[in-house]
Amino acid sequence: MSALEKTPETTAESRTPLMTLAGVSQVFDTKAGPIRAVDNIDLSVNPGEVLCLVGESGSGKTTAARMAAGLARPTDGKVEFAGNDIWSMNRSDFGRFRRGVQYVHQDPYASLNPTRTILQTITAPLLKHRVVKGNKAAADKAAELLTKVDLTPPENYLPKFPHQLSGGQRQRVSVARALTLDPKLIIADESTSMLDVSIRISVLAMLGRLRDDLGVGFLFITHDLAIAKYFGWNGKTAVMYLGRIVEFGPTPKIINAPTHPYTRALIDAIPEPDPDLTKTKGRESLRSLEIPSLAHLPSGCSFHPRCPLFEDGLCDGEVPQLVEIRPGQSAACHVVARDGAGEVRPDEPVA
Amino acid sequence: MVTTTPSGKTSTATARAVRGGEGKPLLSIRDFKVEYRTGGGATVQAVRGVDLDLYPGESLALVGESGCGKTTFGLGLLRLLPRLGHASGKVIFNRGDGTEIDILGLDGRDLREFRWRDAAMVFQGAMNAFNPVLKIRAHMHDTMRAHTKATRQEIEDRAGELLRLVRLEPERVMDCYPHELSGGMRQRVLIAMSLLLEPEVLILDEPTTALDILTQRSIVDVLHEVRERLGFSMIFISHDLSLAAELADRVATMYAGRLVETGGVRDLFYRPRHPYTLGLIKAVPPIVGDLPDLESIPGGPPSLAALPKGCTFNPRCKFATDECREAEPDLLPVTDEPGSAHDVACIHWKDVHLDREVPNQDLGTAS
Amino acid sequence: MTEATIPVTAIGTTGVSRFAGIMKSLRRSPAGFIGFVLVALLVLISAIGPFFTPEVAPNVKEILLPAGTPGHLLGTDNEGKDVLIQMIAGGRTVIFVGFVAAAISTIIAIVLGSLAAYLGGWVDSVVVTAADVFLTVPQIVLLAVLGAFFKLDSPVLLALLVGGLSWPVLTRAVRAQVFSLKEREFVEAARLLDLGTPRVVFVEILPNMASFILMNFMIGVTNAIYQLVGLYLLGLAPLTGSNWGIMLNRAWIAGAIFNDNSLAWILSPIVAIILLLLGLVMMTRSLEEILNPRLRDR
């Protein structure tokens, strides 16, 4: 598996991570009591690296992304950009961070200002931050950016309003806008989930090329493990459940040899575009279909009421910590930590 | 890998679907069209002449990109179109007792009766289907009482039975308001409700879209089980090919308001013969195995108001020749697969093959 | 069902042709068109009419002539002044005060409402509290009191007063709108690009409220005219000069309603005001349909 060897695991140690979330929590005060949307997570993205954050709704993945983007301030822990805490930065450093980390939203229909043309949308940051001088140069730069996101010829797109573009085209414009200030990190929050299957792959491929050509790091948030697999194959994946990271490791291992029962359940649950395979895929049933409320998290491991590996007294006691199960791959599960990841699954290619 | 050895359930369904087979279709759709009036007196055809048979017990998936007309098709079948929509053609429903009714000719009482007793629809947004101020119990009772003379106890029993079938506890759910249930629970209640009057056909429009993966799985499992127990036919509208692979016996691909390919689920997924079906399959990332070689379909679906000349898919198709730009091809049987009921609307179908010998390529070159 | 692609006809729509589009749909909606014509006609007559009509002077020989009298189409008042000429001259102040007052309150509302919503915190609290305090005081009473302090004989002063008092409702509405818009993803994107608060508020957010603001401006005009006429009818503003409100007050005081001959005198200003307000309301209603894409697409 050549892909695995390419993972910059060894070199990553020596570099300063681009973005670090260290022991970060986010607690929202609601009428139903405090809600721990994100509970003490550690993550880091190295320059030019992809980190996929996977989880269902309520897992806290978007909250984590918003903290990384500086859109929300953590109640606890530190968010660091190139080694510096963003919330104790001075104004100019914070500005540098702001411009260095860009966000691509989920909804291509809401992320562009309907009253502004594509040209206006893209040139605004260029002119404001004097990336280029003068309207002519800004328009040229905008055309260059559109070409980078495969909207060619750019003259066809620049004078248009968002409502005149398709969802995929709008999402490309959003990416072009994110590129205006030459960011080091792009946070893609479910950026392709609203696109049609036929278009999704081409947008992902375009993002992949940007990552390779421009060396942009990605924090890639998705609920779709198949998409995480496709985009983040050479990177790492963290699986979140109810505000905590339950499994972390190189993407191919998470997908093909998951260790945490929750990750396994997720991967088993996904139907395959192959009738024979999807009908015969082994699936362990969960003990409960209900997702606990964030306001009343189960004691110990919050997956225990649904977990097929549940052991009374062990799983509902302490909150499990992430421990290394296999080299580079860690999971937060008492049972797996004690017994190991178990037998190799039948559908698991031998890595 | 690409061999057709029909196995188990799939084969019986395929056999039933064979043209001229003995079983009479439950639903026979001929030249079905739906038009929408738009501003300025113009009309747009969202469904442009669909011929389709649904056999008893069969599960048919209708797949395609958004805007291809699949939702309109489902709404049109049950005469649930918005005011500006108009359906034409023939939709013959074959009641078990030998009577045949033309759905498009029904009105008033007959139509209401048809909608629950013969066919029911489960929509995408489960919340909108409920009256927010009524408890689930009231929804169940209202639906039953509007169509039958069942007693209170009979309704309770029937509702309880169906709720248990969709893995819900009636004691808990019946007294809840819709907003007190999670999305997945609501969808399951909706499925139970749609089955109250034992319809022969269930039409599901994106029943798992916007649900979480594990919730989606529970709905899929419930559908498998319920169908096995109650044996109704199902038309399943989805943009998600994987779901179609899992739930369907037969698949129909829709593009720009027409069916471009129909066939047994294995025929369609292992031997697609329309470039559009092929493109859709190649665009879906599988979860098992190594990194696949994926491809997207260039461009986007055409505007229904300005369809390309000839085959509507030709501007996006890599097989397209000048001939494709002349006339729109008919849906015709694939001739080199004896015994299968596989139709395709493409003059180049012989050149279309899916080769899924997946080399381990990484994403950097996939674009 | 949302369409992923757009019809070819939509391509090439620009800001300019968008105005043309509004005009086009205004014509397509009959009520809106009638409203638009009514308002335009009344504004036009009031604006240029006085240049073509003679001065009216009291004439004791011609008092209270009925409508239809040769030379006095709408008759004369109790001083013998021609009603039609007074009508033509009397619209100016009413329309001027209506529009200027609405403009003043709209501008105040936009600035205060959007800053309160966008900045939040103490700015928001101050604005909301101020708006609430203003809302609790009955405006007509406040106007009456203020009328006793100031000499309200200049239309500008009247407009300032009426406009300066009617901002709270719209401010709260603008604030609510900006609150929802500022959570929108494109506004967040602008913040992430560090485009600066003024730009985010006035370039990214406000243009998206253009239709909302325009509609509220029109409603503001009708409200201001109501208040102005009310002030005159109650005699709370000095009856110097000549406008529809003053005419109405005079005719009312003179008991014109009890005299068949002077019916046109008292009805003329009433009908003019009703037509103007009706025109504005009809126009606003169809503007709502035109500018609100959700209503338009039905």
The reply to whether C12 falls in a domain is: no
Q: Which two tokens stand for residue A90?
A: 């001075």
- Pairing mode of beta strands A217-222, A185-189: parallel
Q: What is the CATH number of the domain that holds C73?
A: 1.10.3720.10
For residue A77, give Cα distances in angstroms to A21, A87, A94, B89.
7, 11, 18, 65
Tell whether B160 is covered by a domain: no
**In Å, how far is B298's CA from the nearest CA of chain A?**
7
Q: Give yes or no for residue C235 having a pLDDT over 50.
A: yes
For residue B162, is it within any domain? no
Chain B residues within 8 A of C295 when measuring between CB atoms: none
In the sheet that holds A19-30, the strands lie side by side as A33-45, A19-30, A76-81, A84-85
Using one digit for the tens of pLDDT, what is the confidence trace for A256-307? 999 999 999 999 999 998 898 888 887 777 888 778 888 888 999 999 999 9
Boundaries of domain holding C248: 48-296
pLDDT at C17 (0 to 100): 53
- Note the pLDDT of residue C260: 77
How far apart are alpha carbons B38 and B43 in whole angstroms? 6
Interface contact C8-B301, CB threshold 8 A: no
Q: Please state which of the ranges B131-145, B327-341, C3-17 shows the lowest mean pLDDT.
A: C3-17
Q: How far apart are CA C175 and CA C273, in angstroms?
A: 31
**Average pLDDT over chain A, rounded to whole?**
87
Q: Are A271 and B167 an interchain contact pair (Cβ–Cβ within 8 Å)?
A: no
Q: Is residue C177 part of a domain?
A: yes
Residue B17 has a CB neighbour count (10 Å cut-off) of 23
Quick check: helix, strand or coil at residue A302? coil
pLDDT for the residue numbered B42: 81
Q: Is residue C175 part of a domain?
A: yes
Position A125 scores a pLDDT of 93
Does the beta carbon of C208 lie under 8 angstroms from any beta carbon of chain A? Answer: yes
Q: Out of B46, B66, B305, whose CB is closest to C4?
A: B66
Q: Which has more pLDDT, A140 or A282?
A: A140
B216–chain A Cβ distance below 8 A for any pair? yes
| HEC string for A94-148 | HHHHHHHEEEECCCCCCCCCCCCCHHHHHHHHHHHCCCCCHHHHHHHHHHHHHHH
Contact B303 C2 (CB under 8 A): no
Give the gyration radius of chain A's Cα atoms: 21
Residue C250's H or E segment, with its range, is: helix C244-253
B65, part of any domain = yes
Q: How far is C188 from chain A (nearest CA, A)?
A: 8
Q: Domains, chain A, ranges and CATH? A: 2-115+161-262 (3.40.50.300)
CA distance B3 to B276: 21
Q: What is the mean pLDDT of chain B?
A: 84
Residue B133 lies in a domain: no
Secondary structure letter of residue A59 according to DSSP: S
Task: Please determine, for residue A6, whether its predicted confidence score (pLDDT) is greater than 60.
Answer: no
Beta strands in B178-281 (DSSP E): 201-205, 233-238, 250-255, 258-264
pLDDT at site C57 = 75
Nearest to A226 among B266, B280, B287 (CB): B287
pLDDT at A229 over 70: yes
Judge whether A248 and B197 are in contact, CB under 8 Å: no
pLDDT at A13: 45
Distance, in angstroms, between A349 CA and closest chain B CA?
7
Are the Cβ atoms of B301 and C5 closer than 8 angstroms?
yes
Query: What confidence tens digit (pLDDT) does each residue in C71-128 have?
Result: 777 777 777 788 888 888 888 888 898 999 999 999 999 999 988 998 888 999 999 9
pLDDT computed for residue A85 by the predictor: 94
Mean of per-residue pLDDT scores for chain C: 79
CATH number at residue B90: 3.40.50.300
- Whether B244 is covered by a domain: the verdict is yes
User: Residues 241-260, chain B: which have Cβ within 8 Å of A?
Assistant: 241-243, 245-246, 248
CB contact under 8 A, B296 and A274: no
For residue C206, what is the nearest residue in chain A, using CA coordinates?
A: A115
CB contact under 8 A, C4 and B72: no
Asked if residue B159 has pLDDT above 90, the reply is yes
Residue C65 is assigned to a structural domain of this protein = yes
Q: What is the pLDDT of residues B104-131, one digit of tens each?
A: 888 888 888 888 888 888 877 656 778 8
First-to-last C-alpha distance (Å) of chain B: 26
Share of chain B above pLDDT 70, in %: 89
How many other CB atoms are there within 10 angstroms of residue B96's CB atom?
Answer: 9
Q: Show which of residues 63-122 on chain B sit within 8 Å of chain A, judged by CB atoms.
A: 65-66
Confidence of residue A351 (pLDDT cuts 50, 70, 90): very low
Distance from CA of A105 to the nearest CA of C (A): 7
- How far apart are the C-alpha atoms of B6 and B264, rounded to whole Å? 10
DSSP class of B362: -
AA identity, residue C122 = W
* Beta-strand pair A185-189/A101-104: parallel
Where is pLDDT greater, at C43 or C73?
C43
Tell if the CB–CB gap between B362 and A233 is shorter than 8 Å.
Answer: yes
Domain count, chain C: 1
- Give yes or no for residue B364 having a pLDDT over 50: no
Contact status, residue B94 vs residue B24, Cβ threshold 8 Å: yes
Separation CA A35–CA A26 (nearest Å) = 8
**Which residue of C lies nearest to B300 if distances are taken between CA atoms?**
C5
Question: pLDDT band at A342, cuts 50/70/90?
Answer: low
Which of helix, strand or coil describes residue A275?
helix
Q: CB contact, 8 Å: B279 with chain A?
A: yes
Q: In what order do the strands lie in the sheet with B100-102?
A: B43-54, B27-37, B85-94, B100-102
> How many interface pairs between A and B have CB atoms less than 8 angstroms apart?
157
CB contact (8 A) between residue B302 and residue C5 = yes
* pLDDT score at A289: 77
Q: Determine which of A246-250, B31-35, C79-83, C126-130 has the lowest per-residue pLDDT on average.
A: C79-83
What are the pLDDT digits (tens) for A164-211? 888 889 999 999 999 999 999 999 998 888 888 888 898 999 999 999
Residue C197 is assigned to a structural domain of this protein = yes
C24 part of a folded domain: no
Contact A248, A239 (CB under 8 A): yes
Q: Which residues pair with B301 in a beta bridge?
A: none
Give C28's pLDDT tier (boundaries 50, 70, 90): low
What angle is formed at CA A90 by the lines to CA A87 and CA A93, rounded to 5 degrees? 90
Integer Cα distance of C185 and C193 in angstroms: 12
- The residue ranking higher by pLDDT, A24 or C66, is A24
Judging by beta carbons within 10 Å of its beta carbon (0-12, 13-18, 19+), is residue B232 exposed, middle or buried?
Answer: buried
d(CA A209, CA A202): 11
Q: Chain B partners of C1 at a C-beta cutoff of 8 Å?
A: 46, 66-67, 71-72
A278: DSSP letter: H
Question: Number of structural domains, chain B?
Answer: 1
For the segment C245-265, what is each residue's pLDDT rounded down to a tens digit?
Answer: 888 888 888 777 787 777 888
| pLDDT tens sequence across A101-116 | 999 998 888 889 888 8
Is C246 in a helix, a strand, or coil?
helix
Residue A119 has pLDDT above 90, yes or no: yes
- Listed range (A261-270, B45-54, C146-155) with the worst mean pLDDT: C146-155
Which residue in B184, B286, B295 is closest to A274 by CB distance?
A: B286
B67 contacts in C (CB within 8 Å)? 1-5
Which of B45, B296, B303 is the best mutation test for C, with the most CBs of C within 10 A?
Answer: B303
CB < 8 Å to C194, chain A: 95, 98-99, 125, 128-129, 181
- Say if residues B86 and B35 touch (Cβ distance below 8 Å): yes
User: Amino acid letter at B128?
Assistant: N
- Least Cα distance to B257 among B202, B313, B204, B201 occurs for B313
Average pLDDT over residues A296-322: 91
Domain hosting residue B205, numbered range = 13-128+199-267
Is the CB of B291 less than 8 angstroms away from the CB of A57? no
Q: How far is C108 from chain A (nearest CA, A)?
A: 23
CA distance B71 to chain C (A): 7
CA C160 – CA C126 distance, rounded (Å): 22
Q: Is B179 domain-assigned?
A: no
Q: H helices within B18-135, ranges in order?
A: 70-77, 108-113
Domain membership of residue B327 (yes or no) is: no
Between chain B and chain C, the number of residue pairs with CB atoms below 8 A apart is 28
Residues belonging to chain C: 298
Residue B88 within any structural domain of the chain = yes
C60 CB near a chain A CB, below 8 Å? Answer: no
Of A105, A125, A164, the CB nearest to C185: A105
Burial of A46 (C-beta count, 10 Å sphere; 0-12/13-18/19+): buried
Distance CA B265, CA B14 (A): 9
pLDDT, residue C89, reads: 82
Would C31 be classed as within a structural domain? no
Which residues in chain A are contacts of C206 at CB distance < 8 A?
Answer: none
